[in-house]
Amino acid sequence: MNPFTRFLFELQGVTDLFVRVVRGLTKKPRYFDEIIRQLDLIGVGSAGIVILTGFFTGGVLILQAYPTLQYYGAQSNAGQGVATSLIRELGPVLSALMVAGRVGSAISAELGSMVVSQQIEAMRALGTSPARKLVTPRLVALIIALPLLTVAADLFGLIGGGLVANLVYGLDTTVYVTSVRVGVSINDLLGGIFKPVVFGFIIGIVSCHKGLSTTGGTVGVGRSTTSAVVVSSVWVIIVDFFLSKILQQFFTGTMF
Amino acid sequence: MTPESSYNLNGNSTPAIEFRDVYLAFDDQVILEGVNFSVKRGETKLVLGGSGTGKSTVIKLILGLLRPDAGSVIVDGEDLSDFDDEDLRRIRKKIGMVFQEGALFDSLSVYENVAYRLTEEKVPADEIEHEVRRMLQFVDLEDAIDKMPAELSGGMRRRVGIARALVGNPSIVLFDEPTAGLDPPTARTICELAIKLRDLEEVSSIFVTHEMNNLEYLSSEYAIVDNNGNVHFEEDGEFLCMLNTGALMLKDGEIIFDGSDRALLAADDPYIRRFIRGK
């Protein structure tokens, strides 16, 4: 099968799954308990690595940018530099990539093993829709959790940046905070929270689809786990570009 | 007319399961080619055949997990062809399915596994507990109630799988190679459960297997309850033919045999003879 045909088939699978999930949301039973459980696993469980990633990313941004800013005598704008790049781009994208690695892989491995050990078939035989019981809670949890995780990453990134600016380059904290407050607009914040909503959806639907379409035993589980992480990461990065462009035009009011 | 075809347990003439000219292929690989058969109410049909002959496919068609390319699958008098997810869910409630390796949910305990169907239907907790205990007693595994599937042996897992399938008193039970890979005494226990279901609960079932001793047990013994409520298995006498057990053999997606076990053992077909004797 050529790559394009395969892509179309995958797209069909993902769309079909999405339709089932949406239909599942409109009808009973809705699995609220399961959503809460997944929020705990996905959201609370990923908080540590996402915060750590944000913190050090903020730090390294200042570490690298400060000398250049100093060269132009613009070191008082250091906070703005970190804040805009973190909130607009790095926060959402890096959090999404970390979550894709940690949660996307776990989801597709779990669903994939359930497929190969016939648990998914057993579930259907017992009259439950796997899309409703397994996919919907994970997808909803990801869409709720990822923006929250991103905000945490942004916040800790700013703290990391401030610490490095202060401790390594001796920049006054008040100057840093003022620069952050002046530099960040409401549009940056809205865009920075909207992006992870989309990324959460991408990671969730891709990982669930990859997991549920596992074939070929335990080897197949490995394969679908790998491709869940790779495919969702790549899509996050591609979609991020177009989303940035769209948001830019939306906020500046110059659509095309 | 053979005695089997006129035999009817409940006096209801619609078969529990009926296949009418069913065709199924995946890409260019043909799985079933014009399969016709029926399972009467209260009857146990053993589906025999080598690996890859479409035995498990038959079961998936009955559950509506797969749809035939042509022909119709009729369960309890209802044709599944045009059924949507909601209708299929309704049909699946009448059917209990026992999977090859049990297919228990790893993340749930034995209790939760057996209770699954009732929990999903939001049945009150005390009723669930009563039903789960009753089913675990039936498969003689009440002690394992709080264990996780990973702690169970292969045979125990399958018995839990049977208990889970029987919750809600389905009128049809499907077994997919329930004894494959088990030691003979454990395999025997599984067959006894199937016999009990057939003779004491009047369940119609399909028993997919490739092990000949399963056929021997199921077609030569029957279960009775004595005055003390204990279950006994009695050997079928020389002249008493088991009327509620039939065998069906598949080869390359076609039915090459459908009849009683005696007719099967007497068959001339070289494939059947090889299958029975292993040479």
Measuring CA to CA, which residue among A161, A187, A188, A186 is closest to residue A175?
Answer: A161
Q: What are the phi and psi torsion angles at B262 (to 5°)? A: -65, -45
Residues A109, A111, A115, A118, Cα dihedral to 10°: 120
Same domain, B182 and B53: yes
What is the number of CB-based contacts under 8 A between chain A and chain B?
49
Residue B114 banded pLDDT, cuts 50, 70, 90: very high
CATH of the domain at B224: 3.40.50.300
- Read out DSSP for chain A? --HHHHHHHHHHHHHHHHHHHHHHHHSS---HHHHHHHIIIIIIHHHHHHHHHHHHHHHHHHHHHHHHHHHTT-GGGHHHHHHHIIIIIIHHHHHHHHHIIIIIHHHHHHHHHHHHTTHHHHHHHTT--HIIIIIHHHHHHHHHHHHHHHHHHHHHHHHHHHHHHHHTT---HHHHHHHHHHH--HHHHHHHHHHHHHHHHHHHHHHHHHHHT--SHHHHHHHHHHHHHHHHHHHHHHHHHHHHHHHHHHHHT---
Can you give A183-202 as a three-state secondary structure string?
A: HCCHHHHHHHHHHHHHHHHH
Phi, psi of B71 (to 5 degrees): 90, 180
3-state DSSP assignment of residue B45? strand
Average pLDDT of the segment spanning B150-164: 89
Tokens of B275: 């299958």
Mean pLDDT in residue range B21-48: 86
Contact A125 B106 (CB under 8 A): no
Domain membership of residue B18 (yes or no) is yes
Q: Residue B274 is which amino acid?
A: R
Residue where a domain terminates, one of B154, B169, B184 = B169
Compute the 3-state secondary structure of chain B and give helix, strand, coil in percent, each to the nearest 5: 35, 25, 35
Note whether A230 and A10 are within 8 A (CB): no
User: A182 near A81, Cβ under 8 Å?
Assistant: no
The residue-averaged pLDDT of B232-242 equals 64
Site of tokens 């009990």: B196
Length of chain B: 279
Element holding B276 (H helix, E strand): helix B270-277
Per-domain residue ranges for chain A?
32-67+75-241
**In B125-210, which residue ranges form alpha helices assigned H by DSSP?**
125-138, 154-166, 184-200
In chain B, which residue's Cα lies nearest the Cα of A123?
A: B105
Q: Beta-carbon neighbour count of residue B39 at 10 Å?
A: 22
Indicate whether B231 pLDDT > 80. Answer: no
Question: Does some domain include residue B123?
Answer: yes
pLDDT at residue B240 above 60?
A: no
Average pLDDT over residues A69-76: 89
pLDDT digits (tens, 9 = 90+) for A89-123: 999 999 999 999 999 999 999 999 999 999 999 99
Angle, helix A136-167 to helix A45-71, in steps of 10 degrees: 40
Which of these three, B169, B185, B212, is where a domain ends? B169
Determine how many CB atoms are found less than 10 A away from the CB of residue A47. 15
Model pLDDT, residue A240: 95
Mutate which: A126, A129, A132, A133, vs B, most B CBs within 10 A:
A126
Q: B77 with B209, same domain?
A: yes
A124/B92 Cβ within 8 A: yes
Q: What is the mean pLDDT of chain B?
A: 83
Q: What H or E segment, with its residue span, contains residue B230?
A: none
* Same domain flag for B75 and B183: yes
pLDDT attached to residue A55: 96
**B62, B83, B106, B119: best mutation site toward chain A, by most A Cβ within 10 Å?**
B106
Q: Give the Cα separation of B203 and B6 in Å (integer).
A: 18
> B93 and A123: CB-CB below 8 Å?
no
Which structural domain range is residue B82 located in? Answer: 3-94+171-277
Q: Which residue of B has its CA nearest to A23?
A: B85
Assigned domain for B160 exists:
yes
Which amino acid, one-letter code, is at A28? K
Q: Determine, yes or no, domain membership for B99.
A: no
Q: Do B104 and A119 touch (CB under 8 A)?
A: yes
Number of domains in chain B: 2
- Selecting from B93, B106, B122 the residue whose C-beta is nearest the C-beta of A127 gives B93
Residues B252 and B118 in one domain: no
Q: Let me know: does B75 contact B95? Beta carbons within 8 Å.
A: yes
pLDDT value for B6: 43
pLDDT band (50, 70, 90) for residue A38: very high
A29 contacts on B by Cβ (under 8 Å): 120, 122
Assess if residue B237 is contained within a domain. yes
List C-alpha distances in Å: A67 to A89, A162, A168, A170.
22, 15, 11, 12
* Domain limit, last residue, from B169, B195, B211: B169
Same domain, B49 and B151: no
**In 10 A of CB A227, how many CB atoms?**
16
Q: Which of B89, B92, B99 sits opposite A118 (nearest CB)?
A: B99
Find chain A residues with C-beta within 8 A of B122's C-beta. 29
Pick the more confident residue, B228 or A78.
A78
Distance from CA of B263 to the nearest CA of A (A): 33
Q: What is the pLDDT of residues A199-226, one digit of tens each?
A: 999 999 999 999 999 998 889 999 999 9
Q: How far is B122 from chain A (nearest CA, A)?
A: 10
Instruction: Choose between A125 and B213: higher pLDDT.
Output: A125
- Is B100 within a domain? no
Among B65, B85, B116, select the one facing A121 at the smallest CB separation.
B65
Give B49's contacts (C-beta < 8 A, 6+ positions apart): B55, B210, B249, B250, B251, B275
Closest by Cβ to B65, choosing from A117, A124, A127:
A124
pLDDT (average), residues A194-198: 95
Contact at CB, A127 and B103, closer than 8 angstroms: no
Q: What is the pLDDT of residues A170-184, one digit of tens each?
A: 999 999 999 999 989
Portion of chain B with pLDDT greater than 70, in percent: 93
Record: contact B116-A129, CB cut-off 8 A: no
**Segment B104-113, tens digit of pLDDT:** 999 899 999 9
- B61 lies in some domain: yes
Q: Same domain for B90 and B220?
A: yes
